[in-house]
Amino acid sequence: MTIGESANLPSGGSKTADPSTDLNNPENLNFLDSSDEDEQNNQAEGDEGIESETDEASEDGQESDDAEQQDDQDAESEGDEPEEEGEKEEPVVVTLKGGEQVPLEELKLGYMRDRDYRHKTQETANKAKSLDEMTTRVTRTVDAIATHLAGMLPEEPQHTLAIQDPNEYTRRKAIYDSALAQVNAIINLANEPKEVANKLTKQQEDESIAFNDAKLAEAFPQTRKSAEERRKFFEQTFQTARDLGFTDEELKGQIDHRYFKLAHYARIGLEAEQAKGKALAKVQNAPPAAVKVKQRAAVNADVQKSRDAMKKLSKTGSIQDALRIDFD
């Protein structure tokens, strides 16, 4: 069928046009072999793979560069840390009135220890005071109730009643014993708070003794070295307190370490005063220093010689006579 025949198909008919094989159609001019087309396709796929690999390699290189840069920054920061640690601030030193230099941190620690001691001492005193007040209040209340019930006790039956009317005696005796047992039970209730208060007081006393002993050991380590040095320390402090007018009754049961500190330094002060008094007495009682006779004679001779030279100078007025005068 020619082109003209395909154009003049009957109306309503349809026919699929076969591809043209005419050499005049440019689309049919394909000089490439099938193997050449496969090579082109493979080359195109290879170029795409190379480009993707190149992109991945560049991305990997960029990531490695970023990682190296981050490591360098970390190394620099770590290298700066020792310098910062080396540049620590020097401790602040405070000069006391006596010229002694003490770090500020030690002063703060000493103040904190002293404040803790004051707080603990005050807390212990407040607990002891409140406990004593509570115990006293309970004891007074129970004593008042016991006294009231004791006043309501029936009269104890006489022994003669047992002979005259044994049954009545037995009845009265039973009533009396029952009432007396109730009064004793109430009195025993008052004794229980006293026992508890005594136990708590003993516990607080033990804690206070341990605390003051630790404070005393901080100031005077010799109290912990041996029993002999501890005994010697307390003997000296007690004797100093007696010298200052304290009695043994006042010193008995004393546990506050501050009093022992006062007694210790008071003993040092007393010994220094005694040594000073002995030294002054020794100086005052020492005989005056004797002047050597020869030295005094030589001085008198020089003075007389100078006087004679001045008299001669007043008469002659010569320079030689003036040089002979000792103006010293």
Q: How far apart are CA 271 and CA 58, in angstroms?
A: 91
Cα of first residue to Cα of last residue in the chain, in angstroms, is 165
- Whether residue 68 is predicted with pLDDT greater than 60 in this model: the reply is no
CA 146/CA 156 separation, integer angstroms = 17
Answer whether 173's CB lies under 8 Å from 179's CB. no
Query: CA 14 to CA 152: how far, in whole Å?
Result: 141
Give how far Cα 123 sits from Cα of 83, 120, 196, 213, 259, Å.
48, 5, 19, 18, 20
| Structure-model confidence comparison of residues 250 and 146, the more confident one | 250
Q: What is the pLDDT of residue 103?
A: 76
> From the CB of residue 142, how many other CB atoms can be counted at a distance below 10 Å?
19
pLDDT of residue 3: 43
CB atoms within 10 A of CB 22: 9
**Nearest Cα residue to 173 out of 159, 163, 187:** 159
* Residue 326: band (very low, low, confident or very high) from pLDDT cuts 50, 70, 90: low
What is the pLDDT at residue 200? Answer: 67
Nearest to 65 by CA among 76, 73, 77: 73
Q: How much of the chain, in percent, has pLDDT values that exceed 70?
A: 58
pLDDT band per the 50, 70, 90 thresholds, residue 6: very low
**What are the domain boundaries of the chain?**
103-219, 225-285, 295-323
Task: Output the CA–CA distances (angstroms, integers) from residue 63 to 59, 70, 73, 125, in the order listed.
Answer: 6, 10, 15, 72
Question: pLDDT digits over 146-195, tens only?
Answer: 787 777 778 888 888 888 888 998 998 898 898 888 888 877 776 776 67
Please, which pLDDT band fits residue 328 given cuts at 50, 70 and 90? low
> Phi/psi at 30 (nearest 5 deg)?
-115, 105
By percentage, how much of the chain surpasses pLDDT 90?
6
Q: Single out the residue of 248, 251, 249 nearest to residue 259, CA to CA.
A: 251
Tens of pLDDT, residue by residue over 97-156, are: 666 676 777 766 766 766 776 777 777 777 777 777 877 787 788 778 778 777 777 888
Please determine, for residue 64, whether its predicted confidence score (pLDDT) is greater than 70: no
Q: Which comes out higher in pLDDT, residue 282 or 59? A: 282
pLDDT band at 255 (very low <50, low <70, confident <90, very high): confident
> At residue 81, does pLDDT exceed 60?
no
Q: Supply the angle between the helices 104-151 and 166-219 in degrees, to the nearest 10.
A: 170
In whole numbers, what is the pLDDT of the chain averaged over residues? 70
